Amino acid sequence: MTSTVVYNSELRTTCTHLRSGSEFETDAPTDNNGKGERFSPTDLMATSLATCMITVMGIKARSMNIELDGIKINVEKIMKAEPRRVGGIHLFFHIPESLQHLEEKSIHILKQTGINCPVQFSLHPDIEVNIDWGNWEKENPSG
């Protein structure tokens, strides 16, 4: 088993990672009867894409002797109705100065690694994923 989820009333859960004992709570969003004081389940889904991408990119970067410290990804989740579901995930990468001028080939490899993460392949194809690579938008930002 991977985790346990306990319903705590008031539309909240406590999630425990069994191997480490690490915990976090979820809350229903304000637009769906909740207080919006914690990640919602759909927030976690969208955020999982970003964490998966940066994790596999970090694994690949290690093998390339590149340190990805400081990369930040802002996540925007877009909800749709009928049925209520995640319709889109927009990711906005913020690349620190130290990584803005990597070789074009290295940037391409890292981007392809991120795009091909397990969570991306697990999302329903109707979910529109948009990625803004920030300073890596053009694979050769220095010229």
pLDDT in tens, 96-105: 999 998 999 9
Q: What is the CATH architecture of 40-143?
A: 2-Layer Sandwich (3.30)
H or E segment at 35? Answer: none
CA-nearest of 13, 22, 24 to 47 is 24
Q: What local confidence, expressed as pLDDT, does residue 141 receive?
A: 44
CB distance 93 to 136 below 8 Å: yes
The rounded distance, in Å, linking the Cα atoms of 65 and 36 is: 40
Q: What local confidence, expressed as pLDDT, does residue 114 receive?
A: 98
CA-nearest of 63, 138, 132 to 108 is 138
The rounded distance, in Å, linking the Cα atoms of 88 and 99 is: 28
Q: What local confidence, expressed as pLDDT, does residue 139 receive?
A: 54
**Helices marked H in 64-103 — which ranges?**
none
The rounded distance, in Å, linking the Cα atoms of 110 and 55 is: 11
The answer, as to whether pTM is greater than 0.95, is no
Chain centroid offset of residue 5 CA: 21
H or E segment at 107? Answer: helix 104-115
Q: What local confidence, expressed as pLDDT, does residue 137 receive?
A: 82
pLDDT < 50 positions in the chain: 140-143
